């Protein structure tokens, strides 16, 4: 959900600032790009060097950056536009009051006032301060602006008192953000199964039959589905690609038979299934136990047909929305329509090898999306990440129709 998102973390001067090192680490682990703005007082509680090391970005604290004789400006407007989400944690009573009343006396507040993105704030203060009418008024006013409050918890406070006002723990802050962002996503609560990559069919211990699929299209579809709120299982043949998204469970297989078994083990629980893998149609009838020696001018291999994964899913389909891929070189639309009907699909994604920039090993793709009601939509050449979003949007439009 946070993969590839830009998060601007504002840290103000409370003892809870020490926890932000853990928060930065969790955000990075979730796949986010993180920049930190530190108020002057916050630097007394947490080291800018530590935050810079963890975030992999310089920590900002003032409008002007001086390095030797060079002077540059930290542009608060650019920072506000860069951020997909802004998180202020800990948010002290002082900073919350300034945010609520438009006071702008440091880089963090100027950036907050320039931000166009959702803003989360996690209050942290002592018990009496948290319950004070002025603090409650700040909370209410900030929420009326559309800001999102991450409630403080009860516990031991820096004063030694025990009560409400303790900043939420980093794990809880991350969970709160994810739950808030996912609540309105169209695939929230949906389970999606995606196949990707090639399959390798062994000839002997060192050789195989395969194809040129990198798996990129399937991996991008998995990311797009997760960004829409889905819980994703990605079954991939051999691929150098990986995912760093906790909403995506990556299962690696090698052969078509392994992919068949893995896909069917999950199929009954799935809402949407997208078969983007380039599965080998045939495999050697006999796999040699030892490496085949080069002795003759010719080597004859007897091939047998693999089980058709997509056809078997169509035959067993109940509630699932089933999508296949068709990579064609001739009679593209006719062949895709035939596959759509023959395999009992809800939709099919057509690729043509005749389209420049599409196909295996490319960063781009050009598709035609066709459904069982004969609705056909052709898209321009785009990056595979953009194509993946187009595919997911077409599916969402149909399942919510």
Shared domain for 160 and 248, answered yes or no, is no
**CATH number, position 301:** 3.40.50.10300
Domain membership flag for residue 87: yes
Domain membership flag for residue 117: yes
Residue recorded with tokens 């819980």 = 231
Shared domain for 358 and 218, answered yes or no, is yes
* 37: β partners: 10, 60
Shared domain for 270 and 318, answered yes or no, is yes
- CA 209-213-216 angle, to 5 degrees, is 150
Spell out the residues 6+ positions from residue 118 whose beta carbon is closer than 8 angstroms to its own.
85, 86, 146, 147, 148, 181
Quick: pLDDT tens for 235-263: 999 999 999 788 899 999 999 999 999 99
Quick: pLDDT tens for 228-241: 999 999 999 999 99
Give the separation between CA 383 and CA 365, rounded to whole angstroms. Answer: 6
Phi/psi region, residue 223 (left: phi>0; alpha: psi -120 to 50; beta: rest), is alpha
> Does the active-site annotation cover 306?
no
Domain membership flag for residue 1: no
Domain membership flag for residue 243: yes
Shared domain for 151 and 217, answered yes or no, is no
Shared domain for 158 and 211, answered yes or no, is no
Domain membership flag for residue 201: yes
Domain that holds residue 162: 6-182
> Which among 161, 182, 203 is the end of a domain?
182
Q: Residue 235 corresponds to which tokens in the numbers above?
A: 């079954």
Shared domain for 171 and 203, answered yes or no, is no
Domain membership flag for residue 345: yes
Domain membership flag for residue 387: yes
> Which among 182, 208, 226 is the end of a domain?
182
Shared domain for 206 and 170, answered yes or no, is no
Residue recorded with tokens 């187009």 = 390
**Long-range contacts, stretch 395-399, CB < 8 angstroms, 24+ apart:** 395/272, 395/274, 395/321, 395/323, 395/347, 396/186, 396/187, 396/228, 398/321, 398/346, 398/347, 398/371, 399/271, 399/272, 399/321
Give the separation between CA 384 and CA 364, rounded to whole angstroms. Answer: 5
Residue recorded with tokens 């896909």 = 263
Give the separation between CA 238 and CA 250, rounded to whole angstroms. Answer: 12
Number of domains in the chain: 2
> Which among 182, 210, 232 is the end of a domain?
182
Phi/psi region, residue 205 (left: phi>0; alpha: psi -120 to 50; beta: rest), is alpha
Shared domain for 369 and 246, answered yes or no, is yes
Shared domain for 295 and 269, answered yes or no, is yes
Cβ atoms of residues 96 and 19 within 8 Å: no
Note the pTM of the prediction, 2 decimals.
0.75
pLDDT in tens, the chain (401 residues): 787 899 999 999 999 999 999 999 999 998 899 999 999 999 999 999 999 999 999 999 988 776 666 677 788 999 999 999 999 999 999 999 999 999 999 999 999 999 999 999 999 998 889 999 999 999 999 999 999 999 999 887 777 767 788 899 999 999 999 989 888 899 999 999 999 999 999 999 999 999 999 999 999 999 999 989 999 999 999 999 999 788 899 999 999 999 999 999 999 999 999 999 999 999 999 999 999 998 888 889 999 999 999 999 999 999 999 999 998 778 888 999 999 999 999 999 998 777 777 767 788 999 999 999 999 999 999 999 999 999 999 999 999 86
Shared domain for 197 and 123, answered yes or no, is no
Catalytic hit among 211, 335, 344, 393? 211
Shared domain for 271 and 325, answered yes or no, is yes
Spell out the residues 6+ positions from residue 398 whose beta carbon is closer than 8 angstroms to its own.
321, 346, 347, 371
Shared domain for 350 and 331, answered yes or no, is yes
Domain membership flag for residue 274: yes
């Amino acid at each position: 959900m946070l993969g590839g998102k830009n998060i601007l973390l504002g840290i103000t001067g409370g003892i809870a600032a020490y926890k932000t090192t853990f928060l930065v680490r969790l955000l990075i682990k979730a796949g986010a790009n993180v920049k930190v703005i530190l108020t002057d007082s916050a630097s007394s509680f947490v080291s800018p060097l530590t935050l810079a090391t963890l975030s992999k970005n310089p920590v900002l604290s003032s409008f002007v950056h001086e390095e030797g004789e060079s002077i540059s400006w930290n542009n608060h407007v650019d920072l506000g536009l860069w951020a997909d989400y802004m998180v202020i944690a800990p948010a002290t009573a002082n900073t919350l009051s300034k945010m609520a009343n438009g006071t702008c006396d440091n880089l963090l507040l100027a950036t907050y006032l320039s931000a166009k993105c959702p803003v989360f704030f996690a209050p942290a203060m002592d018990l009496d301060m948290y319950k004070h009418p002025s603090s409650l008024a700040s909370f209410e006013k900030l929420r009326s602006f559309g800001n999102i409050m991450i409630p403080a918890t009860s516990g031991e406070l820096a004063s030694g008192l025990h009560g409400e006002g303790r900043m939420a723990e980093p794990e809880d802050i991350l969970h709160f953000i994810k739950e808030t962002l996912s609540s309105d996503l169209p695939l929230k609560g949906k389970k999606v199964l995606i196949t990707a990559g090639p399959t390798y069919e062994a000839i002997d211990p060192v050789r195989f039959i395969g194809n040129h699929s990198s798996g990129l299209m399937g991996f991008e579809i998995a990311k797009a589905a997760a960004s829409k709120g889905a819980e994703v299982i990605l079954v991939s043949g051999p691929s150098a690609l990986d995912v760093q998204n906790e909403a995506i469970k990556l299962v690696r297989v090698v052969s078509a038979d392994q992919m068949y078994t893995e896909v069917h083990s999950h199929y009954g629980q799935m809402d949407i299934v997208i078969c983007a893998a380039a599965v080998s149609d045939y495999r050697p009838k006999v796999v040699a136990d030892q490496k085949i020696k080069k002795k003759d001018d010719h080597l004859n291999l007897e091939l047998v047909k693999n089980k058709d994964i997509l056809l078997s899913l169509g035959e067993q389909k109940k509630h699932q929305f089933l999508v296949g891929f068709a990579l064609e070189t001739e009679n593209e639309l006719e062949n895709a329509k035939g596959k759509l009907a023959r395999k009992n699909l809800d939709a099919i994604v057509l690729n043509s090898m005749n389209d420049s920039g599409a196909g295996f090993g490319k960063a781009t793709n050009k598709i035609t999306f066709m459904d069982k009601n004969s609705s056909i939509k052709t898209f321009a050449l785009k990056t595979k990440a953009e194509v993946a979003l187009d595919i997911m949007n077409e599916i969402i439009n149909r399942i919510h129709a």
